Amino acid sequence: MKVPLSWLREFVEFPAEPRQLGEDLTFVGLALDGLEGRGADAVLDLDVTTNRVDCMNVYGVAREVSVLYDVPLRPLDLSFPEEGPPADQALDVTIEAPDLCPRFCARVLDVRLGPSPAWLRDRLEAVGVRPINNVVDLSNYVMMEMGHPSHAFDLARVPDGRLIVRWARPAERLTTLDGVERALAGRVGVVGGTEGPLALAGIMGGASSEVSDDTRAVALEAAWWDPLSIRRASKALGLHTEASHRFERGADPEAPPAATARVAHLLAKIGAGAARPGLIDRYPAPRPRRATGLRLSRVSAMLGAPVAEPQARQILTGLGFSVKEQAGSWAVEIPSWRSDVSREADLVEEVGRHLGVDRLPSTVPASRGAEGLRPRQSATRAVREALAGAGLTEVINYAFVSDADAGPQAPPRLRLANPLSEEQAALRSSLVMPGLLGTLRANLRHGRRDMRVFELGRVFGATPEGPAEESRVAVLLMGAAAPHWSSERRAADFYDAKGVVELLGRRLGVGALTFVAGGAPGFLHPGLHPDVTEAWELRDEAAVAELELDTLTAAARAPVRFRPLPRSPAVERDLSVIGNEGMTAAEVEARVRKAAGELLKDVSVLKRYARPPIPAGRVSLTFGLVYQDPGRTLTGEEVQASVDRVVAALRAAGLEIRGE
Amino acid sequence: MAESRASSEGIVRELPRLRQDFDAALAGVRDGAGLQELRTRFLGRKSGELTLLFGRLGGLKNEERRLAGAELNTLKQEVEARLEARRAELEAGDREERLRHDRVDVTLPGRVGPVGRRHPLTVVREELEDIFLSMGYEVYDSFPEVDDDFHCFEALNMPPDHPARDMQDTFYLEGGDRLLRTHTSTGQIRYMLSNPHPPRVRIICPGKVYRRDDDITHSPMFQQVEGLVVRAGITLADLKGTIEAFLHALFGPQYPIRFRSSFFPYTEPSVETDLGCIVCGGGGCRVCKQTGWLEILGSGMVHPAVFEAVNRKLGKVVYDPEEVTGFAFGLGIERVAMMRHGIDDIRLFYGSDLRFLEQFHR
């Protein structure tokens, strides 16, 4: 909102320099966005919040200035001479849709069309309005000055001198002032004539009754439109104007007579015409002034500082509220232009604004006790720290994905009704697919070969109960972990990804993790499915993992229970087991544990070997067995007896033993 | 033969030659292996030259054996001592030799292992969480990203067709009334509805939010932290003090803070907080649009309509606006990170470009 200071000075004298004025207005809620020009020609650019439609004009800002510096606000000059026959002889107005238009005012003006005087054109240009001709300019000038939009119809082009306010009829069309022919479907309000619509109610005039060089008389309309109706019509038509912007936010229902009077006053002032006697004012159900109570004690309690009664009264009355003092509470009548104010809290804000929030004291509310992260939250942080510590870099991808990237056999995703693009039309159901793959591809294009990344975030899916979401953690590894000149480059594979998962298990203390082959999503086979590798143009193998975060963090154990340190040494024995290639480490380990008895403390895989001298199709696994009794030293016989049982059990299972 | 006849004289006579031989051999020893060879030659358990002489003592008479034995022992001790001395000498030489050759090129890269890091937004978010934890706030982050009109708008005093909804262009889901939350203010409503100790609230709600906007200052997905304190007697002064404490903890106490009136549908009064521009120090620059101030945080006193909406949903008056008041605030995590690191394009945070992410060391 541009405010030329010369214009502002017509209504209020202020003691501040332009920048100081801008800063003072900033504190009361009209933030200074920019300052153009200097001295008398300075123009403030104010950021007016969407609720303050009353300040989207010079006079509204002047009212704030008058309260700010406690200086008088001059009234608008609404006087004008009337000439000619009564207005209602030439113009008749009917409101057929009072839900659309509670009030419609009109005057008939005889005009001498021409360009506006320079001062008027300059002011319009200073506030960003293009001058057109004196009649249209005056309508715009008054809107920028006092906030109420009006519209001038060429009276000669209003058939039968009749204006009818109604809802548009099906299949009606109207060419608006911008030259666009519009289909008026739905609940669009119009000002019609006897031969069809002449203007879009509260949004824009029509071309057929546009003021032109031939115009000798105009019907000047200023109405009060139902905000919601204008908002919906404006949205439906995709047409947002200065007028609709004000009406949909709630203009002043008492302004229409004044707006037409101000146009008439200025018309006479610039010598461009005169008004015919009489105001046509259709206002079938006048709105009473609204009122609400205000307790000064409440103001102090909300602001946290005592507020002096005269100060509060001065602020409210200066803003146009009328204050009636009653026992314990004030009855405050709300001015018609403050559609944003309806209850006590709003009045507290009005007082607070002008007292200055910045000048209030600062206190910190006492805490009831200490707070800390919940176990799930601490565990989630531990996951991030563990992964970063393991050399993975955290990425955050958009939750939006293309529905086409779901991968083979993926379940349907939640789709957006109004996505920004087809590439962002659905919500991800996995972090890896396509998120981390996208990360991989994007970085490959930058020439990266080695990558270790992770992401924590939510994924989404449809359930019978509706949309559902869950937190996940996913990792992607490609290439070498930490290439070094001293060693051969080794690319990441399945066991690197599994290792990261095991690391998380250990860092969170979730106990033993069991890994079962199969059950992976369709894009894995067992690494990335070749179809995926091809579709995503990935050159190298990538290893990925994705876990339910809440399952992981819920299993986190804390605090750890201390176990006494063993007082006797452990005995270690190694065992090489040869079997067919299908043999899994887990099944051999299970047999070892079962046969070994309770002295066996730990089993680990030391080596896997599948080259000569091991015959083709066979594989050798070397296990390290650790025997220990916390209380005493084991005898060689005890250990050997256990090893013998293990060897016998493995042989019985058809496995070959080397070493023992 | 003289040697066959056992006599102390015979044994003693051989000693000078033995010593001579030993001296000559010792002088020729160059390494540990040579030294070992020498030791074996003279002191070997079966056929060492000295050992053999000791063997011959057995054939002597007592007095002769004592004399010859003493001589032999003297020589043996001398040989052992000299062998030991030479060994030490050789070893010292070896170490020096090793030290001469064992050089490292300290300029070659070390073995670092892979280096990872958290996302710069994670770092900022956890820092914000820690500041508020230290002020006794609970971190409430488990509320949904896919939410509905009631929690996102209606309960926050934005009825259908409210113009304020234009400020937050919303993503809707197909088929139904679900939407992606446009702000973490949904956390206010969700927490109050499930509050374990009503009507007291002291929470921050960090999380992702979504708006239909995509340019260098707007990302369709971004992160906010919402805060809410509700209790009897909470005031706007409490809000100010809390925000000042928080901003001082986050940016340091050297930056001025100002509070100005603003508008949010769910707070009344509403307050915008500006921080003295951390780029230019307040003199005015491109980043602060010559104002010297950076808009950092929106806040206000909880609008009674919000309490009333929650009460209606609960079916009873839990948050009586006459009994309790509250303040709420919200800020963008990206904005803090952008200010701190001088980042000018918000979309970099979500591009997963390692050239960007690897610039941050935490």
Looking at residue A67, what is its pLDDT? Answer: 97
* B358 vs A: CB within 8 A: yes
* A329 vs B: CB within 8 A: no
Least Cα distance to B92 among B152, B171, B32, B157 occurs for B32
- For A413-466, how does the pLDDT look when each residue is reduced to its tens digit (9 = 90+)? 899 999 999 999 999 999 998 899 999 999 999 988 899 999 999 999 988 888
Band of pLDDT at residue B289, cut at 50, 70 and 90: confident
Owning domain of residue A19: 2-68
Give the C-alpha separation, A248 to A145, whole Å: 18
Name the pTM for this structure.
0.86
> For residue A370, what is the nearest residue in chain B, using CA coordinates?
B136
- For A283-330, how does the pLDDT look when each residue is reduced to its tens digit (9 = 90+)? 999 999 999 999 999 999 999 999 999 999 999 999 999 999 887 799
Least Cα distance to A605 among A506, A508, A504, A495 occurs for A495
End-to-end CA distance of chain B: 91
Over 70: is that where the pLDDT of A404 sits? Answer: yes
A322 in any annotated domain? yes
CATH number at residue A21: 3.30.56.10
Q: Give yes or no: residues A384 and A508 share one domain.
A: yes
Q: Give yes or no: residues A396 and A520 share one domain.
A: yes
Q: Which amino acid is at A190?
A: V
CB < 8 Å from A in window 199-228 of B:
200, 202, 208, 210, 212, 214, 220-221
Distance from the B95 Cα atom to the nearest Cα atom in chain A, whole angstroms: 26
A445 in any annotated domain? yes
A437 in any annotated domain? yes
Q: Give yes or no: residues A130 and A22 share one domain.
A: no
Q: Give yes or no: residues A416 and A475 share one domain.
A: yes
A77 in any annotated domain? no
Distance from the A228 Cα atom to the nearest Cα atom in chain B, whole angstroms: 7
The CATH architecture that domain B120-357 belongs to is 2-Layer Sandwich (3.30)
Q: Decide: A473 and A546 in contact? Cβ < 8 Å.
A: yes
Which residue, of A331, A357, A383, is where some domain finishes? A357
Residues 6+ apart with CB under 8 A from A108: A87, A90, A91, A155, A217, A218, A219, A220, A275, A276
Q: What is the ipTM of this complex?
A: 0.90
- Which of B202, B245, B263 is nearest residue A49 as measured by Cβ atoms? B263
Cross-chain Cβ contact A345/B350 below 8 Å: no
CATH number at residue A176: 3.50.40.10
> For residue B300, what is the nearest residue in chain A, using CA coordinates?
A349
Q: Give yes or no: residues A262 and A347 share one domain.
A: no
Q: Which amino acid is at A337?
A: W
Give the C-alpha separation, B329 to B66, whole Å: 105
- For A260-277, how does the pLDDT look when each residue is reduced to its tens digit (9 = 90+)? 999 999 999 999 999 999
Give the C-alpha separation, A245 to A494, whole Å: 60
- Which of B114, B161, B233 is nearest residue A231 as measured by Cβ atoms? B161
Work out how many domains chain A is built from and give that number.
5
A129 in any annotated domain? yes
A136/A610: higher pLDDT: A136
Which residue, of A248, A282, A316, is where some domain finishes? A282
The H or E element containing residue B243 is helix B236-251
Band of pLDDT at residue B328, cut at 50, 70 and 90: very high
Q: Give yes or no: residues A105 and A231 share one domain.
A: yes
Residues 6+ apart with CB under 8 A from A86: A276, A277, A278
CATH number at residue A634: 3.30.70.380
Over 60: is that where the pLDDT of B3 sits? Answer: no
Distance from the B297 Cα atom to the nearest Cα atom in chain A, whole angstroms: 14
Looking at residue A378, what is its pLDDT? Answer: 94
Average of per-residue pLDDT values in chain A: 92
Q: Give yes or no: residues A126 and A57 share one domain.
A: no
Q: Give yes or no: residues A440 and A528 share one domain.
A: yes
Q: Give yes or no: residues A100 and A214 share one domain.
A: yes
| Cβ-based contacts of B122 with chain A (< 8 Å) | 384, 394
- For A637-655, how does the pLDDT look when each residue is reduced to its tens digit (9 = 90+)? 999 999 999 999 999 999 9
Pairing state between β A162-167 and A92-95: parallel
Looking at residue A461, what is its pLDDT? Answer: 92
Torsion angles phi and psi, residue B59, rounded to 5: -85, 0
